[in-house]
Amino acid sequence: MGKKIDEALVRKVAKLSRLELTEAEIEEFTGQLSAILDYMEKMNELDTADVQPLAHCLPISNCFREDCVKESLGTEKTLANAPQREGEFFKVPKILEESSG
Amino acid sequence: MDELLNISCKELRDKIAAGEIKSTAATEAVFGAIKKCEPTVGAYLQIFEGEALAKAAEVDEKISRGEAVGTLAGVPIAIKDNMCTTFGATTCASKILENFHSPYNATAVGKLLSADAVIVGKTNMDEFAMGSSTETSALKRTVNPWDVRRVPGGSSGGSAAAAASGMCFAALGSDTGGSIRQPASFCGVVGLKPTYGRVSRYGLVAYGSSLDQIGPITRTVSDCALMMNVIAGYDPADSTSVGEKAAPVCDYLEKIGQPIEKLKIAIVPQFNAGADGQVRKALNEAINVYKNLGAEIIEVDMPYLDYAIAAYYVIATAEASSNLARYDGVHYGYRTAEPKDYIEVYTKSRAEGFGKEVKRRIMLGTYALSSGYYDAYYLKALKVRNLIRSDFVRVFERCDCIMMPVAPTTAFKIGEKIDDPLKMYLSDIYTIAVNLAGVPAISIPCGFDEKGLPIGLQIIAPAFSEEKLLRIARMYEAQTDWHKKRPVIEVKE
């Protein structure tokens, strides 16, 4: 199975997870995730070459509903939980840099 | 405990409907128990006393006017705080959703309301249902009503503790890897995880979407059946809920008193060997009760069960890492105070808003899904999941059900496992395979250990056979008195 997780890999996974971890957390998680992943190696005892993956236990494939117009939540309800809003918008910090031209 | 609090939901409902007991009196008795026990037990995150009493009065009035009322008319019920409600907040016991107010009700909650249930409050849990002890709650500590130094189990620890201590007549929990059954076992109450797809997940805050299922926590098997009569069924809002044609719901209560003839019970001796001596002893005694009722006991081998924890903690965390990506500090939930750019809105809001166990699982799942590791972990786990399911299919070809412990031990001490996540995960050994296979399972009280802590018997049945499963459970309950025992709660002055 994959190589044991080290601090560099923990930093990479934290970045993928969009989690800003403290140095203490990185150290703690490196040890704990290594131990958990070591345990998961147990799965390698099983030969699964001819086994189909099972993502889901129900024999359901595509579930389509009628394509019809229904009432939506509306602006006020939708924005009611917004951490920051401005008028009818969710407010977030600027994403694009100011351009000079 | 107040005598009124000792009766079942079913009896309470019948007596309220007959005008023999007022829902107002039952609801007041519940709030009396809350005033007495809650400072010690800490089962609730929110309590709706005014609203509950108003609803109870409304039900009483309807009945006195001779109007029709719902299946749970006037019965005080608690809801785990990972189900969306338009009343109160829906926190998942997290800081990130501490102030989140859902614009809609979960389908299961809506069904309770339509059945005229009285909603008492929302119960504590492990943060985002990630944990086995309710210790990962970012908002509150819940203790076991049988021993305040011990955990109530988890993740539905608040619901189980509330039901055990008379602070509600029944509760809703959710079960992704044992989160209904294990706390029910630790608190000496009944907990049912229905078949995946039996109860709508709409409005249940997602953790592991292919595993999550809502179910009842009650004090008797019949009450579990009564609750299922209300919450089970197809929901067009949940694309994984199962339709009436494929698996019709039935009246789970109708034949609850009828034993199953020629019952065949499978046991897995090798697998059970990992449980504590007293847990195994209680299990064996419970199986003897069935033997005396004429059941045939068949020893089986389920070789893939040993791999369930490894597969589960890959699959559940992978699904969690994807589900919890929605908490971005933009549309709802906690946002960091002064982000220097939009990336920090994500990284800092999530760092400050999530607790350690949630972060750990997001990390683990992200790793298992990341490029270069996907095949070795996630795909491998899905294949192992198929093997585990095949173990169940094979056994159910010749047996009606499987019996095993719910947990390897009784309730453990607060703090005992919280710093060692792998140790905590390993305590889920007996409950987890059921979620991977999608089948229903129940935990019912089957004795106490030497310390006076409750032990649960787990009964597992084929998909969509809840009616039979509940009848099998009732056969045992009718022969024993374990479910009548109540904890004596130390009252804080």
ipTM of the complex: 0.93
Per-residue model confidence as pLDDT tens digits over B414-455: 999 999 999 999 999 999 999 999 999 999 999 999 999 999
Give all domains of chain A, ordered by start, each with its CATH number.
Answer: 7-45 (1.10.20)
Per-residue model confidence as pLDDT tens digits over B274-315: 999 999 999 999 999 999 999 999 999 999 999 999 999 999
Going by their DSSP bridges, the two strands B454-460 and B441-448 should be labelled as: antiparallel
Mean pLDDT of B336-360: 96
Q: Which chain A residues are Cβ-neighbours of B239 within 8 angstroms?
A: 60, 63
- Separation of alpha carbons B484 and B318, rounded Å: 41
User: CA-based Rg of chain B, rounded to a whole angstrom?
Assistant: 21
Torsion sign over Cα B172, B411, B312, B140:
positive
User: How many CA atoms within 13 Å lie on the side-chain side of B86?
Assistant: 8
**Residues 6 or more apart whose Cβ sits within 8 Å of residue B225:** B252, B253, B256, B470
- Separation of alpha carbons B334 and A71, rounded Å: 28
pLDDT class of B28 with cuts at 50, 70, 90: very high
Inter-residue contact B143 to B149 (CB < 8 Å): yes
Place of tokens 């007959």: B18
Residue A56 pLDDT more than 90?
no
Note the pLDDT of residue A98. 66
Place of tokens 């086994």: A51
Min Cα separation A100/chain B (Å): 19
**Residues 6 or more apart whose Cβ sits within 8 Å of residue B307:** A42, A43, A45, A46, B384, B387, B388
Inter-residue contact B231 to B108 (CB < 8 Å): yes
Residues facing B193 on adjacent strands = B441
Burial class (CB in 10 A: 0-12, 13-18, 19+), B375: exposed
Establish whether the linkage from the previous residue to B133 is cis, with ω within 30° of 0. Answer: no
Instruction: Say yes or no for a CB contact (<8 Å) between B342 and A93.
Output: yes
Min Cα separation A101/chain B (Å): 22
Note the pLDDT of residue B493. 65
Per-residue model confidence as pLDDT tens digits over B167-186: 999 999 999 999 999 999 99
Inter-residue contact B298 to B266 (CB < 8 Å): yes
For A88, list phi and psi in degrees, rounded to 5. Answer: -100, 20
- Separation of alpha carbons B23 and B12, rounded Å: 8
Mean pLDDT of B316-331: 97
Q: Which of B135-144, B164-173, B469-478, B482-491 has the lowest mean pLDDT?
A: B482-491
What letter does residue B144 receive in the DSSP assignment?
A: B
Going by their DSSP bridges, the two strands B454-460 and B264-267 should be labelled as: unpaired
Q: Does domain B3-302+389-484 have CATH number 3.30.1360.70?
A: no
End-to-end CA distance of chain A: 52
Instruction: Say yes or no for a CB contact (<8 Å) between B366 and A16.
Output: yes
Mean pLDDT of B256-276: 96
* Mean pLDDT over the full length of chain B: 97
End-to-end CA distance of chain B: 17
Per-residue model confidence as pLDDT tens digits over B191-247: 999 999 999 999 999 999 999 999 999 999 999 999 999 999 999 999 999 988 889
- Separation of alpha carbons A78 and A66, rounded Å: 24
- Separation of alpha carbons B377 and A1, rounded Å: 8
Instruction: Say yes or no for a CB contact (<8 Å) between A56 and B210.
Output: yes
Residue B45 pLDDT more than 70?
yes
Percent of chain B with pLDDT over 90: 98
Pick the closest to residue B314 from B219, B425, B175 (CA basis): B425
Percent of chain B with pLDDT over 70: 100
B167-188 burial: b if 16+ Cβ within 10 Å, else e: bbbbbbbbbbbbbbbbbbbbbb
Q: Which chain B residues are Cβ-neighbours of A81 within 8 angstroms?
A: 99-101, 331-333
Residue B42 pLDDT more than 90?
yes
Q: Which of A1, A43, A73 sits opposite B311 (nearest CB)?
A: A43
Residue of A nearest to B96 (CA): A83
Min Cα separation B424/chain A (Å): 11
Own/partner contacts of B19-26, CB < 8 Å, gap of 24 or more, are B19/B63, B19/B64, B22/B56, B22/B60, B22/B74, B23/B55, B23/B56, B23/B57, B23/B59, B23/B60, B23/B73, B23/B74, B23/B75, B23/B118, B24/B53, B24/B56, B24/B57, B24/B60, B26/B56, B26/B74, B26/B75, B26/B76, B26/B169
Instruction: Say yes or no for a CB contact (<8 Å) between B350 and A52.
Output: no
Instruction: Say yes or no for a CB contact (<8 Å) between A57 and B334.
Output: no
3-state secondary structure of B301: coil
* Mean pLDDT over the full length of chain A: 90
Min Cα separation B423/chain A (Å): 10
Residue of higher predicted confidence among B316 and A2: B316
Interface test with A, best of B314, B364, B390, B420 (most A CBs within 10 A): B364
Q: Which of A16, A25, A78 sits opposite B370 (nearest CB)?
A: A16
Residues of B annotated catalytic, as ranges: 80, 155, 179
Instruction: Say yes or no for a CB contact (<8 Å) between A13 and B367.
Output: yes
Beta strand residue intervals within B53-212, DSSP E: 76-80, 118-123, 170-174, 190-193
pLDDT class of A2 with cuts at 50, 70, 90: very low
Per-residue model confidence as pLDDT tens digits over B112-134: 999 999 999 999 999 999 999 99
Instruction: Say yes or no for a CB contact (<8 Å) between A53 and B386.
Output: yes
Q: Which of A29, A42, A82 sits opposite B331 (nearest CB)?
A: A82
Mean pLDDT of B69-98: 98
Q: Which chain A residues are Cβ-neighbours of B373 within 8 angstroms?
A: 2
pLDDT class of B136 with cuts at 50, 70, 90: very high
Mean pLDDT of B387-399: 98
What letter does residue B258 receive in the DSSP assignment?
A: S
Mean pLDDT of B385-412: 98
Place of tokens 């989160």: B179
A9-18 burial: b if 16+ Cβ within 10 Å, else e: bbeebbebbb
pLDDT class of B105 with cuts at 50, 70, 90: very high
Min Cα separation B309/chain A (Å): 8
Note the pLDDT of residue B1. 64
Interface test with A, best of B319, B348, B367, B439 (most A CBs within 10 A): B367
The domain spans of chain B are 3-302+389-484
Note the pLDDT of residue A99. 61
Pick the closest to residue B473 from B272, B286, B301 (CA basis): B286
Interface test with B, best of A17, A22, A42 (most B CBs within 10 A): A17
Would you tell me which residues 335-374 of chain B have a C-beta closer than 8 angstroms to some C-beta of chain A?
A: 335, 339-348, 350-351, 354, 356, 359-360, 362-364, 366-367, 370, 372-373
Q: Which of B354, B372, B383 sits opposite A51 (nearest CB)?
A: B383
3-state secondary structure of B326: helix
- Separation of alpha carbons B30 and B46, rounded Å: 14
Residue at A56: amino acid letter:
H
Residue B477 pLDDT more than 80?
yes
Q: Which of B196, B310, B359 sits opposite A57 (nearest CB)?
A: B196
